[in-house]
Structure 1
Amino acid sequence: MNKAMRNPAVYIAFIFPAVVLIFMFFIYPIFSSIYYSFTSWNGVSAHPKWIGAENYIKALGDERFWRSALNNLWFIVFSIGIQVPLIIVFSLLIANVRRLQGLYKTAVFLPSIMSTAVIGILWGFIYEPNIGLMNRLLGLLGIDPVFWLSDEKHAMLSILITNAWQWTGFYIVMVLAAILAVPRELGEAAAIDGASRIQQSVHVILPLIRPIISVVVMLSIAGAMKAADIVIVMTKGGPAGSTDVLATYMIKYAITNFKYGYGNTVAVLIFAITLVLTVLYHTIFARRSERVEF
């Protein structure tokens, strides 16, 4: 056995299947998308027409592209500015619960394992103008019904709330696991020194769980850039394209209009923007949170 493990061929035999899969489903699709992004192709013809950078010029000069990019930015801002603080607060609250903690963890995690289609339909009923729960509650306060998904003023916010409801529980479980891994002795020592529960959370627990919070932020950025399913289910990008994101903008061109070359251009731009954002975040913020020792 030892002789076999010293043989480089054994390592190659174990690694080779994984390398093949990575090449087939990651490396090759990336380079093929880059190639087709420089072509005019309908997805059917055998010989795509090379057009150079025309697709990129068209995309960067298209107002709908930038409006879709702005909606992706709203996803990021909402996730980092509102969702992440709520994740931290709820994680701290659940961590301090002594009874039925498992029930609370299960309850908050359930939405993240539900199908996006189911969640979109469920919240579509909640936002329904006539009998929906949201307008029923507003009616109790004497507020006129709001057309949540058909009014450009409210449609994007409605989708952001629904998306946050779906994924907040998933991130809460991650952050909660990090909080529960913090040695209790540290909190007890802070309590002996006179620190309140809030002071313990702010000055002891939060600094120690910065790495996992950094991971949550990076996953939120990546998730915001690839958001599409919840938009398709709830509004299909409407009304008047006000809720389109880059992924739905790409789908409309690549699948609906059979402009696969242009669709690949948008896909490459999504990949590039996501890569730049994650690298910038990692360079500026995440490195400060990498090393935390108990």
Structure 2
Amino acid sequence: MNKSLRNPLVFTLFILPALLLFLIFFIYPIFSSLYYSLTSWNGVSDSVKFTGLSNFEKAFGDDRFWVSVKNNGWFILFSVFIQVPLIVLFSLLIANVKKLKGLYKTAVFMPSIMSTAVIGILWGFIYEPNIGLFNKVLGIVGIEPVYWLSDERFAMLSILITNAWQWTGFYIVMVLAAILSIPGELDEAAAIDGASRFQRATRITLPLIVPIISVVIMLSIAGAMKAADIVIVMTKGGPAGSTEVMATYMIKYAITNFKYGYGNAIAVLIFIFTLVVTVLYQLLFARRNERIEY
């Protein structure tokens, strides 16, 4: 058995299925999308006309494209500066619960396993101008109804809140697992030395879970760049394109308008932008906190 495992052919046979799947479902689609991004094609006909970089020039000159880029930026900022701190806060609170900890973990995780369509419809009722929960609460204090999803001032914020509600529990479970893996002796020693619960959380727990927080931030950035389903379900990019993101912009051109070449150009730009943002984050922040040893 040991001799077999040392044989390079055995390793090759083990990794070959995974490698083939990787080539078929990742590498090939990337190069295929890159090729079609340089063409004018409706996705149906046999004729594919090579147009060079014209699709990219069209995208950079389209104001709606830059609105979608800005909205993806809002997703990233909301995730990093509002959602992640809340994730850490709720994780710390649940970690200190003595009873029914499993119930709390299940409760916060439930939204992340629900269909985005269900989430969108549910929150659509909450945002409903006449009978929605938010406007009912506002009416109690004498505030006029707000058209959350049809007013350009509030539509993007409404989607960001809904998206955060859906995925916060998933990340809480990750951070909570990191907190619970910290040796209890560290917290007990600090408590004996007179450290308060707040001091133990900020000076012991938080520094030790920085690597997993870094992973959560990176996943949030990647998720923000490919956000599409929640926008399609709730607003379809409206009102007046104010909630359009890069992925929905791509879908409208590639599928709805049969501009497959242009849609692939947007897909390539999404890939490039995501790669640039994640690499910059890795270089500037993540590598400083890769390992923490107890």
Bin of the TM-score, shorter chain as denominator length: over 0.9
Matched, 1:77 2:82: no
Pairs within 5 Å for 1:236-255: 236-255=236-255
CA distance in 2, matches of 1:5, 1:227: 43
CA distance in 1, matches of 2:200, 2:48: 62
CA distance in 2, matches of 1:234, 1:242: 13
Coordinate RMSD, CA, aligned: 0.7
The residue that corresponds to 1:190 in the other structure is 190
Structure 2 unaligned regions, length at least 5: none
CA distance in 1, matches of 2:178, 2:121: 33
CA distance in 2, matches of 1:9, 1:208: 41
Matched, 1:149 2:124: no
The residue that corresponds to 2:125 in the other structure is 125
Alpha-carbon deviations, 1:24-56, whole Å to 9, x = none? 000000001001101001001223100000001
Matched, 1:261 2:258: no
Q: How many residues align?
A: 294
CA distance in 2, matches of 1:51, 1:158: 39
CA distance in 2, matches of 1:69, 1:91: 31
Structure 1 unaligned regions, length at least 5: none
CA distance in 1, matches of 2:68, 2:184: 46
Report the CA distance between 1:7 and its aligned residue.
2.4
Matched, 1:105 2:134: no
The residue that corresponds to 1:162 in the other structure is 162
The residue that corresponds to 1:234 in the other structure is 234
Report the CA distance between 1:132 and its aligned residue.
0.6
- Which residue type is aligned with residue 78 of structure 1? F
The residue that corresponds to 2:62 in the other structure is 62
- Which residue type is aligned with residue 129 of structure 2? P
The DSSP-based 3-state class of the residue aligned with 2:276 is helix
The DSSP-based 3-state class of the residue aligned with 2:188 is helix
TM-score, L = length of structure 1: 0.99
TM-score, L = length of structure 2: 0.99
The residue that corresponds to 1:172 in the other structure is 172
Report the CA distance between 1:192 and its aligned residue.
1.8
> What percent of counterpart residues are identical?
75
Alpha-carbon deviations, 1:70-103, whole Å to 9, x = none? 0000000000110000000000000000000000
Alpha-carbon deviations, 1:91-140, whole Å to 9, x = none? 00000000000000000000000000000000000000000111001111
CA distance in 1, matches of 2:7, 2:103: 50
Alpha-carbon deviations, 1:251-274, whole Å to 9, x = none? 000000000000000000000000
CA distance in 1, matches of 2:200, 2:46: 64
- Which residue type is aligned with residue 57 of structure 1? E
CA distance in 2, matches of 1:212, 1:3: 38
Matched, 1:39 2:39: yes
CA distance in 2, matches of 1:103, 1:215: 25
The residue that corresponds to 2:95 in the other structure is 95
Report the CA distance between 1:3 and its aligned residue.
3.1
Report the CA distance between 1:13 and its aligned residue.
1.2
Report the CA distance between 1:188 and its aligned residue.
1.2
CA distance in 1, matches of 2:88, 2:7: 48
CA distance in 2, matches of 1:171, 1:238: 29
Report the CA distance between 1:190 and its aligned residue.
1.2
Q: List structure 1 runs of 4+ shifted beyond 3 angstroms.
A: none
CA distance in 1, matches of 2:111, 2:278: 26
The residue that corresponds to 2:217 in the other structure is 217
CA distance in 2, matches of 1:282, 1:199: 29
